[in-house]
A and B are shown apart, each in its own frame.
Chain A
Amino acid sequence: GAVVSQHPSRVICKSGTSVKIECRSLDFQATTMFWYRQFPKQSLMLMATSNEGSKATYEQGVEKDKFLINHASLTLSTLTVTSAHPEDSSFYICSAIFPDSYNEQFFGPGTRLTVL
């Protein structure tokens, strides 16, 4: 199946700093990428939908100024957590779809963010 990678796999940062997470589709061009957040023992919650070359669409309750998404190419989307705080500590997962994968999203391995 299609492969999606994320970098870094885990990051620890100090409160107030910004952290960038990359999501890449390795063997296909992703028309759309999605960013999810998952807290321990909870479901994945969609944060935003990202289309190449256009602004991301954020879900209700997600601060667009805090979670900056840049979808610069058909194979790369980045999520920047700005001025991170301990409550932003979570597991961030991206996924991607391409034109023929209408029914299936391909997920990255996730990034564990810990804000001290």
Chain B
Amino acid sequence: SQKIEQNSEALNIQEGKTATLTCNYTNYSPAYLQWYRQDPGRGPVFLLLIRENEKEKRKERLKVTFDTTLKQSLFHITASQPADSATYLCATRADYKLSFGAGTTVTVRA
């Protein structure tokens, strides 16, 4: 069965540093990967989508890479700020259904 894993439950970093989150998938080859942000007690908010034929995607201070050989996506938050503190979820999609990883909670210290 399809499996998507985010191998770090929590990440604590100093303000201004780059946070790097990992998402691995097994047993299938998604056409694209999505990243969402979820704040406590709230629903996820879409951030970025990267397709299998794209190596890298950027949006402001966010960067996503997609390595289909390693079956892995990396999510980077550069010049991190305390406001970036949240849980970040990766997700793949098949027939409109999203499968989410468990998320990585990022805490940025001032």
Contact = CB atoms under 8 A, between A and B. Distances in A.
A32 interface: yes
Interface string A85-116: 00000010101010000011111111010000
Interface residues of B, number: 20
Interface stretch (A40-48, A64-72, A73-81): A40-48
A99 B2 CA distance: 26
A110 B89 contact: no
A49 B97 CA distance: 8
B2 to A, nearest CB: 12
Interface of B: 9, 32, 34, 36, 41-46, 49, 89, 96-103
16 contacts: A43-B102, A43-B103, A44-B100, A45-B100, A46-B97, A97-B96, A104-B34, A104-B49, A105-B46, A106-B46, A107-B45, A108-B43, A109-B43, A110-B41, A110-B43, A112-B41
